[in-house]
Every structure is written in structure tokens, then in C-alpha cells.
Amino acid sequence: MKKLRIALAQINPVVGDFEGNVTKIIHNIEKAENVGAQIIIFPELSITGYPPEDLLLKPKFIDDNLEALKKVQKNVRNIIAIVGFVDRKDDIYNAAAVIYNKKLFDAYHKIYLPNYGVFDELRYFQAGTRYPIYRIDDICFGVNICEDIWYPGGPARFQALAGAELIININASPYRIGKGRFRENMLYARVLDNIVILAYLNAVGGQDELVFDGGSFIIDENGNMIARGKQFKEDLIFADLNLDAVKMRRLHDPRRRQEVIKLKKGTVDEILIPMQMNKVKGLKKINSRINEVLEPLEEIYEALVLGTCDYVKKNGFKGVIIGQSGGVDSSLVSTIAVDALGKDNVKGLFMPSRYTSKESREDAYALARNLGIRIKEVPIDSIYQSYLNILKKEFLGLPLDVTEENIQARIRGNILMAFSNKFKLLVLTTGNKSEMSVGYATLYGDMAGGFAVLKDVPKTMIYEICKWKNKKEGRVVIPERVLWKEPSAELKPNQKDTDVLPPYPLLDPILKAYIEDDKSFDEIISLGCDIDSVKKVIRMVDTSEYKRRQSPPGIKITQRAFGKDRRFPITNKYRGY
């Protein structure tokens, strides 16, 4: 019986940390060898971290990446290691090294280079042209990278027709809502079309705006899930594969025989790896884990926690500071920060003014008690009055307006940044996607900070996540009043968000249709949205691009986030209505 023990090393690399990434790779190789695995696989560009972006334009970065691969190579003995790296020939390639017994047997070059959304691979890499398969004894497998598997007629098809019973697909595939299920359904189709066992490995971790969700898995030739790793956590997944079962299934598929005949000679390279196969039957049986998929709100929350944790830690900050308003956004950001970093590394700053309500004070302090975080109070009213006194002559005869509101927000931003500088804490901003979309935020005020945790989370979803969190914890973490009181910036008497915005349950569907789905004015109206509201929202979105360009990075969770996922000009006279 042809059996193979495989290990999927779902690791969290750091971009540019060659020493740390190599150490992590070698450690997992040693663990896999000790368990008797014949193959261990690592994520796409696991040597460099993903995405390296314009670091790829630096020749020394490529040199150091190749040196790092050599260090890994020296530590590969009685196991085949598939390691993502940047190869350099006539050009540079997104590549997978196939290493055995300290020797580099081959480097597979990624063929389909994504160049949409957050991906810019055509900016950096040349596309591969080869479809290699690898043979050890009577076992045959193929390797490809991320986007390659999304094409029905891509490399996996040629590799399977040439005899590969196992397809290994290594990835750095970022999270967004719904992508996991969509990706899994696509991969089931690839498995059944090609009658192969598929080992799908994803990276895990946060990298600037992206979060890689892990959740690696193995599907057998019948479309059965036989192993699934953890989501949003590092993991080492083992499975024993029965490759005879692939051969038996293929015997019953006459359609495949016709396709094999059509495969042109020389289309696929076959590379022999002289490995002496250990008999899996002589090893202790591996019981593969099939971890349950998280429910949607928990997935989103875990993405936000991991993205926050890695951004703070990978950039060397000791902790974070958050402006506490007693509102829902700052409450959720604080809760995420505590789960990401621990309560001792999160500090709250309450900055009341003459317009701050008694309820907001109570809610801010209640949240701090519930989370166990320290909270400091720095009133801003005397500073605000100083501004009014200084500007009194210049503003004489003019009514109070958004100018005075923004002064308060900027005072708070200044104080937060002062604490950041003095205590080496990263400021987490608390704005959400709804507000950022329409520019309902103050430049150099509440937008001032280093990381925007909720930048891609709509307001209505924030309420859902907060309710889910309280229910999951079995106690009140986020004060109940925060979840039902009317949102207000509290920058003037009796202020409400709905003074300038449609109610969020009406606003968010318009924003999704316009920003994420690229629907036209007429199409949005056809969804039942009010004409005047749609015009107003589109105008606010289009004229707020200059603000968003100056906002801190934030975690992508939706189909289309602000930043490099959505690239619109600031100077723009076009109106689609």
C-alpha cells in the first residue's frame, strides 16, 4: 500500500525577518522528522514573509533571501521540505523550493500572478512556465502556489494528468468575510475534477492591513476533509495519506484516460528524488485533527485580534493607548486590544469636555473595570477655552460650527500622541468604515494614531460583534447602554450622528453597494434606497478621499477595504448621478 505522511507547517512569518523565519522553519522541520513525516510544507514566501512589496526591488534583499534558504537547506535531512522563497534566474520568481537531504532538487515558479485587489505580483515577479512533478519511489506529487490552484486548467490539471496523486498548494491568502467557504468549495471542485489528494497550506498572521487566517486542510480524492488546522493560530498538521486510493478511483474514470492521451509529451517535467521511504505502517498511527470552522462573527473578531496583535508586536511597541469616549467603537477597540495584548498592555484615556455626558463617563469607566485596564482622565475644557479665547478676535461675529467641533477632536488627538511619545505606546484609533467612508472624522483629531482597528468594519457590524462578545463571555464586557444609546460625537449640545448622516442601518447598505460592489447610482436606487440619501452619501464618499489617504492603516475584513484595495483619485470631478 502506498502511504505518505505529510506535515503542514502553518507558520506566522515576519516580512524581512530572515533569521526569525529560518529559525521557525527549521524548528518545524525537526518536529516533523521526529513524527516520521516524509514531506513538510511551508507557506508561500515563508523565507521573506508575504507580501514583501518593494523590498523585492532591492537586490540585497533577494541575496539575503537566497542565503536564508541555504541555511534551511543545510538542516533538511530525511524529509522533503517545500519552502516558499524568491528565486532569481533571468528575473525574480515567486517560488517553492523542493529540498531533500541538504540538496535543492528544484524550484517551482508560480505561473498565475495575481494583480488585483491587494495583490501586485506582476509589479515584481516573472511568471513561471514549467509544470514539474516529483517522484519518490512509486509516489508522485505536484507543487504549485496560491493563485495557480484557482484556474481549472492550471498547473494542478497538468500535474494530475501526468501522474501526480497528491497536489501541494502553498499559500499566503489573506482573510476576508466569506472567502474561506468560497475557497473551500473551489478546492473541492479541483479535487474531484483531477482525482487527487489536495494539501492546501495557508500562512497565518497579520501583516500591515492584511490578516492571513490559516485554516489549512487536506481533502482526499473523494472530496472528504481528512485534516483541518486552526484558524488565526500557528499550527502543525499531520496526516497519513493513502495514495493507492487515488489510483483505484482513477481506474473508474474513463474521461480521465482520454485527457491523459491528449497530454503532449514534454509538457510536464518529472524530477526523481532518491528518498528512501519509511514505512508509515511501522509508525504510530496519526489521528488527524479536523478543527471546526469558526462562526462568522467569531472569525471577524479573531481576524481583528490577530491583526492588532501582530501589528503592535511586530513593530516593536510595548503597548497601546486608546481614547475612551464611552461609545461603542472605543469599547470594541479596547476589548480587541485586551484580547490581543493582555490587559496590562492596554491603557485608556478619557478626555471629557463641557459636552461630555454623565452617561459617557459612566460607560467609559465601566468598560475599563470590566476589562481590567488602567484609565486616566485628562479634561480638555481648559485647553478648548484657550483656543476659543485666542481665536475670538478672528472669529468675531461668526457662528459656532464644525470648526469648534474639530478643535476639540484635535486637542484629544494631540493629548493621545503626547502619551504615545512619552510612554512609547501605539495609539489605536477608533473610527469605523461607515465614518471613514463618508469623512465623518477629523483629520489630526480622532484620525490621529498608528493603527485603525475598525477601519474596515461597518458600524452596524460593530454592534453585532459587541453583542456576540458579551454573549460568548457569558457576562457584560461592553456595557449594555453602549449598545442601545444613540451614537454621538458629543462635540456640541444634543449632538447625534444622524444630524449629518442617515441612520446606520440605512447608510451601511448604501456604502456596501457603492464601495464594495461598485454599483451605480441607478442600481443602488433600485435596491429601494432613498434618492436624496444616495446622492448625499456618494458625494460624501467621493469628496473624502483626501482624508482616507492620511488615515492610519487598518485591518481588511471585507470584500473591498480602503487603501490599496480601492484606488480612487483625490482630484475627481466625476459624479455618477
Could you give the residue numbers annotated as active site? 44, 110, 146
The sign of the torsion formed by the CA atoms of 36, 94, 11, 186 equals negative
**Cell reading at 557:** 475584513
| Inter-CA distances, 297 with 217, 464, 477, 555, Å | 21, 8, 16, 15
Amino acid identity for residue 109 in this structure: H
Q: Give yes or no for a contact between 87 and 48, defined as CB atoms under 8 angstroms apart.
A: no
**Cell reading at 385:** 477655552
Q: Give yes or no for a contact between 225 and 291, defined as CB atoms under 8 angstroms apart.
A: no
Cα-flanking dihedrals φ and ψ of residue 61, to 5°? -60, -40
What would the DSSP string read from start to end of 526-547?
A: HTT--HHHHHHHHHHHHTTHHH
Cα-flanking dihedrals φ and ψ of residue 522, to 5°? -65, -40
For 155, residues 6+ apart whose C-beta sits below 8 A from its C-beta are 111, 131, 142, 144, 148
CA 577, CA 574: separation in Å to the nearest integer? 9
Please tell me the number of Cα atoms within 13 Å of 494 on its side-chain side.
Answer: 0
CA 133, CA 153: separation in Å to the nearest integer? 16
Q: Which long-range contacts (C-beta less than 8 Å, at least 24 apart) are formed by 29-33?
A: 29/72, 29/75, 29/76, 29/79, 29/81, 30/75, 31/7, 31/236, 32/7, 32/79, 32/236, 32/238, 33/77, 33/78, 33/79
Beta strands in 441-481 (DSSP E): 451-452
CA angle 249, 246, 244 (to 5 degrees): 110
190-214 as b/e: b if 16+ CB within 10 A:
bbeebbbbbbbbbbbbbbbbbbbbb
Q: Give yes or no for a contact between 271 and 132, defined as CB atoms under 8 angstroms apart.
A: yes
CA 309, CA 301: separation in Å to the nearest integer? 12
Beta strands in 259-397 (DSSP E): 270-272, 319-324, 346-350, 374-377
